[in-house]
Amino acid sequence: MRWALVKVCLAVTAMVVVAFAVPLGLVVQEMASDRAFSNAERQAATIGPTLSITTDPAQLRKAVETTQMGAAGRMAVHLPAIGDSPPADIGDGWAGERVVTETRRMGRATTATVPGGGSALLQPTALGSGDIAVVEILVPESEVSNGVTTAWAVLAGVGLALIVGSVGVADRLGARLVRPAERLADAAHQLGEGRLGARVPEDGPKELRSAAVAFNAMADQVVQLLANERELAADLSHRLRTPLTVLRLNTASLGDGPAAEQTRAAVEQLEREVDTIIRTAREQRPATGPAGPGPGAGCDASEVIRDRMAFWSALAEDEGREVRLAGVDRTVRIPIARPELAAALDAMLGNVFRHTPEGTPFAVDVHDTPDAVIVLVSDAGPGIADPDAALRRGNDGGRDGSTGLGLDIVRRVAESTGGDVRLGRSVLGGTEIRVWIALDGRTRGGPGGPRVRRGRRKRRGV
């Protein structure tokens, strides 16, 4: 593309130079010729007054020698036969007798080519007797072409400079067009090879700048889609932890025996496989923000909480846990899809069963305010040991039975509405997870405020 643009500019400039320089050179050449013959006509006119007074050859010879052309040997006067006087020629002629006779007959100035080079101007001049004499001036070729060669050289230099300059400008312009296109193509190749960080500088011409903006937006969207896909795979796998927890706890009642041991080994192996799936899905995960709920997504928080508590209550009864449920006696609409809220509740309640001793009581409370819904999950367990790590996604991936995704699922669900998650000490003496679900899309704490707030007391790992 760059060389094609240079060739086009070269061809156009060359045509423009030829179209203007050649006619201009011809005009200069014509002007030099006109200047030389005009000067010859003026020199021929200087002898006119003398011819009007006398036709004596001796006197005319002296008069011719006093002129510039006569002194240079470039003037001749051809007298006709007057009375008894024969025709006379003063000076050497160059055009020939026939041309002199023809000029006298026509009565107007003529030019003739001289055999040795150059031209001769023949100017008829009227005598006092009524006859016509012819004054001949020699115009050398050097005088006719005086300055023409220099003019042609100047025009050629200017034309060459224009061509070189246009080629340079075209090359720079081509480079300005080609470089952004090459960067765009290179970034596309990198993105195709899996290097998701490839981006294009948004510069260059307007069209290529728009293409770069579109490419970067597309690359960001690809990264976002891949991140959402990986997180979805991890989250879906994490949801399997709930039934696995029930299975693991139920295997404790199987007693001893080969079948019971095999069942427990199978459950443990299944838990390890689920952990492996979650970690694999999160490997080399592009950094992306949380994906919010789709348009129109929402559910009744009270109905979902009652449903999930009915599921966990059976397990709580088996383990001798006291359960308290409050604030779910009326409809509470929130902008979260039912499966997302159910997954968040299962993650929080699963932590209670997984990380507190049997018999530890817990409670779920729902508070409905005009701008938010607050869900509190409290327990009377030992608390959380690492407050800073609990809300970081995958921080516990190295522990058996934990992938570090539980509270991260809760956090992303809350943040999708503009809310946040707080961890602190509950009134029961253990951990309290406070989920703030915004109803008006504003982040708790105001714009730019922190989305996650952590209690200063110790809490357990998840």
**CA of 297: how far to CAs of 142, 228, 338, in Å?**
97, 17, 8
Q: Which pLDDT band, with edges at 50, 70 and 90, does 1 fall under? A: low
At CA 115, angle to CA 111 and CA 116, rounded to 5?
115
Say if residue 386's pLDDT is above 90: no
Query: Which strands form 420-425's sheet, in the order they lie side by side?
Result: 323-326, 362-368, 372-379, 431-438, 420-425, 452-454
What percent of the chain lies above the pLDDT cut of 90? 13
Question: Which residues, at least 6 apart from 285, have a Cβ–Cβ distance to it below 8 Å?
Answer: 227, 230, 231
Q: Give me the amino acid identity at 456.
A: R
Query: What does the pLDDT look like over 146-189, one tens digit per residue?
Result: 888 888 888 888 888 888 888 888 777 777 777 788 888 888 88
> Which stretches does DSSP call E strand in 84-118?
88-90, 110-113
Beta bridge partners of 122: 110, 136
pLDDT of residue 295: 42
Query: Would you list the DSSP string of 254-303?
Result: G-SSHHHHHHHHHHHHHHHHHHHHHHHHHTTPPP-PPPPPPTT--EEHHH
Letter string b/e over residues 7-35, b meaning 16 or more CB atoms within 10 A of that residue's CB: eebeeebeeebeeebeebbeebbeebbee
What gap in Å lies between CA 71 and CA 443, rounded to an integer? 108
Q: Are strands 362-368 and 323-326 parallel, antiparallel or unpaired?
A: parallel
Query: What does the pLDDT look like over 74-117, one tens digit per residue?
Result: 899 988 887 777 888 888 788 888 888 888 888 888 888 888 77
Contact 201, 183 (CB under 8 A): yes
Query: What does the pLDDT look like over 423-443, one tens digit per residue?
Result: 888 889 899 999 999 987 544
What gap in Å lies between CA 298 and CA 293, rounded to an integer? 8
Q: Is 74 left (phi over 0), alpha (psi -120 to 50) or beta?
A: alpha
- Stated length of the chain: 462
DSSP 336: S
Phi, psi of 286 (to 5 degrees): -60, 145
pLDDT of residue 449: 35
Using N-to-C axis directions, what is the helix angle for 301-318 and 338-355, rounded to 10°? 30
Name the helix (H) or strand (E) containing 419. Answer: none
At CA 142, angle to CA 138 and CA 146, rounded to 5?
120
Q: Is 221 left (phi over 0), alpha (psi -120 to 50) or beta?
A: alpha
> For residues 441 and 421, which has the higher predicted lDDT (pLDDT)?
421
Say if residue 273's pLDDT is above 90: no
The neighbour count for residue 398, using CB atoms within 10 Å, is 11
Q: Are strands 420-425 and 452-454 parallel, antiparallel or unpaired?
A: parallel
Among the ranges given (29-43, 49-63, 272-286), the one the predictor scored with the smallest mean pLDDT? 272-286
What gap in Å lies between CA 57 and CA 97, rounded to an integer? 18
Q: Which pLDDT band, with edges at 50, 70 and 90, does 234 fall under? A: low
Contact 108, 132 (CB under 8 A): no
pLDDT of residue 433: 92
